[in-house]
A and B are shown apart, each in its own frame.
Chain A
Amino acid sequence: MPIAINGSGTLTGLSVGGLENGIITPAELSTGAPSWDAQYNLTNVASINSGPLAGFRNAIINGNFDHWQRGASFTGSEYGADRWFHSRSGTTHTATRQAFTLGQTDVPGEPTYFCRTVVSSVAGAGNYAIALQAIEGVRAFAGQQATISFWAKADASKNIAIDCQQNFGTGGSPSSAVNAIGTVKKALTASWQKITHTFTITSVAGKTLGTDGNDSLALFIWFDAGSSFNARTDTLGQQSGTFDIAQVQVEAGPVATAFERRPIGTELALCERYYQVIDGRAGGYTVPGMTITYRIPFRTLMRATPTVVVTGQENTNTTGATMGAEGNGHANHVALGAVTGGFLTRAVGLFSAEL
């Protein structure tokens, strides 16, 4: 019988007599949750008064699918929800933003959105459909125990698979990627359920990083996988279906704690290290041939000098409105005066510095 304090300051379960001399360690004192490990770390704490634990445990950004700067529906191998890459080969898929019904209780914490992936499987050993997120820095959880948790359901009883991949980046002579880390297959039903999986991330001792600073630990959630990926998916196999995921979390340690809800502006700032939309507008007085240019600081420094797609150009008494990047700190809006007089120029830059 465990020794316990019953709430009235009384010890119960204490049998006096026959005790050996010595001390009782914290680990010996408590065998249930919560407990201390041998290093006196408190473990097995799911929440504090049913609220969140201390912040920034979750290495996944936008795990709550709150931010969709690129749109709300995607069919290619492309970024969809912020930080989430929807990858496919052979098989087709459509990833969309879906709203939870207000007040629903199937998934706790009143999340606003979840991500739905509708998969149409096409037979082929190399075909697949995946949702993945690359966590910046291959050192993440290296040599440590980590736990992934998320809520999921499917249109019927289906399986999905999870694995992680360590990427050592580009530039120089980096080590080859290591995948099939923590591979597991999980069963889904038509009802929301919390999926959890604890595993040890491979150590990076002896590995060589690339020189470009783009190494990462990537989490893969497999919906459809040809036989070429059996080792990475616990032989998931090929399947069509509708797969919903919400509240994705990856954290250190053996326990899936409550989903960490960060302030929405904080989460957006985290996303904008990798993707930003800059809407540049300027007005004034110009003459033909005058170069109009100004710099716009990125709202947060981007991970690397970003790629830019320019859209939304408007020219009133100007030509060639466009936008580029100056390193990872600034956007640069440029236009050319066409007519003497007042002008208005606009260009929208979609800046991406994803991993």
Chain B
Amino acid sequence: MYQLTSGDTIVRLSDNAYIPQAPGNRDYAEYQTWLSAGNTPLPAPPPPPPAPDYFTFWESLLQTSAYQSIRTQSASSLLMNTAATEFIALIGDAKMGRPIEPAIQLSILTVLSAGTFTEAELLEFQAALVAGHLDSIYTLEAPES
């Protein structure tokens, strides 16, 4: 049995061999014979979900009015200032490849609860999560207790 891939090779499932579509390759010739016998390979597996991209998230967030609101409120609110500082540090670690997901989730909720944000600003924050493929990991709403 064989399976197609998203690339230009075919996988022979019995030994996970990657067979090139190359004339003269013995295994490719056997695959062609197998096809000629009326067999059909398995379709290519779906591509893996995009990896979390904290750089893109951060670049997107910096351009939003939501981020400017965080900065503004940090100047007058020690609670927001503390929450924002921790959030920035955690995202910094994540950009270096060491995301501490529970702490980041808690930090997001802490920032949002420490200040006031318009509906548009919350939508911008959510759009930044989507841009960084983080929307399946983090939420802007606290779970109902």
Chain A: residues with CB nearer than 8 A to chain B? 169-171, 211-214, 287-289, 303-310, 317, 324-325, 337-341, 352-355
Contacts and interface: CB of A to CB of B under 8 A. Distances in A.
A339 B20 contact: no
Nearest to B54: A288
A170 B23 CA distance: 8
Q: Report whether over half of chain B's contact residues are helix, strand or loop; otherwise say mixed.
A: mixed
Given A213-B23, A214-B26, A337-B97, 9 more contacts: A212-B23, A304-B23, A304-B25, A307-B18, A307-B19, A309-B15, A339-B96, A340-B95, A353-B26
A306 B25 CA distance: 7
Interface of B: 9, 12, 15-20, 22-29, 32, 51, 53-55, 95-98
B24 A304 contact: yes
What is the predominant secondary structure among interface residues of chain A facing chain B?
Answer: loop
A258 B22 CA distance: 39
A337 B32 CA distance: 36
Nearest to A169: B24
Given A288-B97, A317-B97, A341-B97, A354 B26 contact: yes
Given A171-B23, A305-B25, A353-B25, A310 B18 contact: yes
Contacts of A306: 20, 25
A307 B16 CA distance: 10
A42 to B, nearest CB: 38
B125 to A, nearest CB: 22
23 contacts: A170-B32, A211-B23, A212-B23, A212-B29, A213-B24, A287-B96, A287-B97, A288-B97, A289-B53, A305-B20, A307-B12, A309-B16, A309-B18, A310-B16, A310-B18, A317-B97, A338-B97, A340-B95, A340-B96, A340-B97, A341-B96, A352-B17, A352-B27
